Amino acid sequence: MKPAGQCTVGIAGLGLMGGAIAKALGRPGPDGKSRQPGAPGRLFAHDTGAETLARARAAGIIDRGFDDPGEMLPHCDVVFLCLNPSTLTGFTKTWQASFKTGALVTDIAGVKESVCAEADRLLCERNDLDFIPGHPMAGAEGEGFENSGRVNFSGKNYILTPLPRNRPENLAFLKDLIRLMGFGRVTETTAADHDNKIAFTSQLCHVIAASLIDCGDDTEITRFGGGSFEDLTRIAMLNVPMWTELFLENRDRLLSHIRQFEKSLDGIKALIKTGDLPTLTKRLAAVRDRRSGMAG
């Protein structure tokens, strides 16, 4: 891969995440004018919303916007597919032939095994393309480009689920772009391991937040909030179409984590019910110590 400064990076889908990635890659460097050292030479974007492209272009976030992917892709040395899982494979199938020879292609889908296997299969038919599945672990309430300014990448996690045939220099190149965007830890693992852990840290948490809002109907309840309720339920303001997709795409793993959680909840409930102070104390102390041993 050429130095980033000579590369054209294309972002397919200028929504919440695509917009945030464009802003992070395109933001000005120390001098406040030219881009950061290591930033892509040119930043292109495709979106179906002409107005979104115009706004991004006017704000100097992207160098050029395309309503037609077939026009953008042939220019792009690197492509970020910032699409919902359901549209990802359709997109790669339709535009397969348009990707530039030798392009590095990556995605941001929150489920990897099913979605990426299919996208990879399609892109593989072009054996000159190097598809490296990825998942930036950041988000924000709301949807679309207009909310993308709320997404904060600083110090956040980024998961990569590389494929055996990925070219090491491309993997290194992608990691440099990821750090340029401000991410902290970059973790490499398998798609299966990703999907299992994400079902716990992300999907289960969203299901819990949704259930917590679902089971109460007093919108004035936050008068009685001390921060915990607000923190636990903020993510209930979710991108509904995307999260329903993620839940169903990763259904079996999510369901098994829900069952695990229900078992733990049931165990603690039983200790409260019987008023077993010593055992409840021991259990909560173990929980406190385990959480204290975690980052974040």
Decide: is 16 part of the binding site for its own copies (CB under 8 A).
no
Decide: is 54 part of the binding site for its own copies (CB under 8 A).
no
- What are the tokens at 35? 């881009």
> What radius of gyration do the chain's Cα atoms show?
21
Q: Which is nearer to its own copies, 126 or 194 (CB)?
A: 194
Decide: is 192 part of the binding site for its own copies (CB under 8 A).
no
Residue identified by tokens 């917590």 is 212
Task: Scan residues 115-154 and list those touching its own copies (CB under 8 A).
Answer: 137-139
Decide: is 190 part of the binding site for its own copies (CB under 8 A).
no
Residues touching its own copies, count (CB under 8 A): 87
Residue type for position 275? G
Dihedral sign of CA atoms 6, 10, 14, 17 in order: negative
Decide: is 157 part of the binding site for its own copies (CB under 8 A).
yes
Decide: is 86 part of the binding site for its own copies (CB under 8 A).
no
- What are the tokens at 20? 């945030």
Decide: is 240 part of the binding site for its own copies (CB under 8 A).
yes
Least spacing, CB of residue 154 vs its own copies, in Å: 11
Stretch that binds its own copies, among 36-44, 75-83, 161-169, 272-280 (CB under 8 A): 272-280
Least spacing, CB of residue 241 vs its own copies, in Å: 7
How is the beta sheet containing 8-12 ordered, strand by strand?
64-66, 42-46, 8-12, 78-81, 104-107, 130-132
CB-based contact 108:134 (threshold 8 Å): yes
Decide: is 164 part of the binding site for its own copies (CB under 8 A).
no
Decide: is 159 part of the binding site for its own copies (CB under 8 A).
yes
Least spacing, CB of residue 217 vs its own copies, in Å: 8
Q: How far apart are CA 199 and CA 81, in angstroms?
A: 22
Nearest residue to 262 via CA among 190, 192, 208: 208
